[in-house]
Amino acid sequence: MQTKMTSDSVTSTLNELILLGELAPGTIISEVGLAKQFGVSRTPVREAIRKLSETGLVTLRPRQRPIVSLPSIAEALDQFEALAMLEADCCELAARRRTSEAMAQINSLNDACHHHFENRDVESYFKVNEEFHRSISEASNNTYLSGRAIQMRQRLRSLRAPRASEPDRMKASYAEHKRIVETVEANDPERARSAMLEHVAMVGERAADFIRSYTKLWEQTDQ
């Protein structure tokens, strides 16, 4: 017999659905629908929604159903700017401190990105892309800084995923990855930082385009 989900497991599952982009920014959240999907009453779903509203992932609206948070363009650009700075710091340190083992892992993941790019497998590319960025952050050998970068990247995942899955973006992303790998392997901190800043900034600009296209969802009222 299947174990009934607890309030905490409902919160964790809903959190993951949002971060993975399966519940896209601007999506109206149905307590009844989620309760049926999870096989629970509305109470743990309501509690999960409340908890996620405190983290900023869900927006509660007076006299309307809650919605997966869709930040303003200004807010999104601020968040991507913060991510770009964090990842650029990590990339700069990686170029100074990376070990041969870390470099081998970075190259391996970049090769995997190339394989998925050649096969136009956008879903697999996006997944390996996440590991590629994590490996760069961890190669900085600064646990606190890499942890912050990885956490921020995960938080912005639902905004990055729709744009990252486009074929033209995948092509540009791989070209940018190559520059990042070359600078880290060459132990060139300044160029490594610049390459990562440019890479993340481009994703942020495309995320802003995504938000513009979904502005009507943010303003949508229940029918």
Spans of all domains in the chain: 7-69, 73-212
Predicted local confidence at residue 21, as pLDDT: 73
- Which option is the CATH number for 7-69: 1.10.10.10, 3.40.50.720, 3.40.50.10320, 3.40.50.300? 1.10.10.10
Is pLDDT larger for residue 16 or for residue 36?
A: 36
- CA proximity to 156, closest of 196, 207, 195, 193: 207
* pTM score, whole prediction: 0.73
Residue type, 173: S
223 falls in which pLDDT band (50, 70, 90)?
very low
CATH of region 73-212? 1.20.120.530
- pLDDT tens digits along 185-222: 999 999 999 999 988 887 766 666 666 655 554 454 44
Residue type, 38: F
- pLDDT tens digits along 47-56: 999 999 998 8
In this prediction, residues 20-40 reach a mean pLDDT of 88
Q: Is the dihedral of CA 88, 90, 95, 100 positive or negative?
A: negative
- pLDDT tens digits along 72-84: 777 878 888 899 9
- pLDDT tens digits along 141-184: 999 999 999 989 887 877 776 555 566 778 888 899 999 999 99
What's the Cα-to-Cα distance from 160 to each of 40, 170, 191, 208, rounded to whole Å? 31, 12, 24, 10
Q: Is the dihedral of CA 53, 26, 170, 175 positive or negative?
A: negative
Please state, rounded to an integer, the average pLDDT across all residues of the chain: 86
Model confidence at 112: pLDDT above 90:
yes
Give percent of the chain above pLDDT 70: 87
- Rounded to whole angstroms, the Cα distance separating 195 from 181 reads 9
Model confidence at 67: pLDDT above 50:
yes
- Rounded to whole angstroms, the Cα distance separating 73 from 56 reads 16
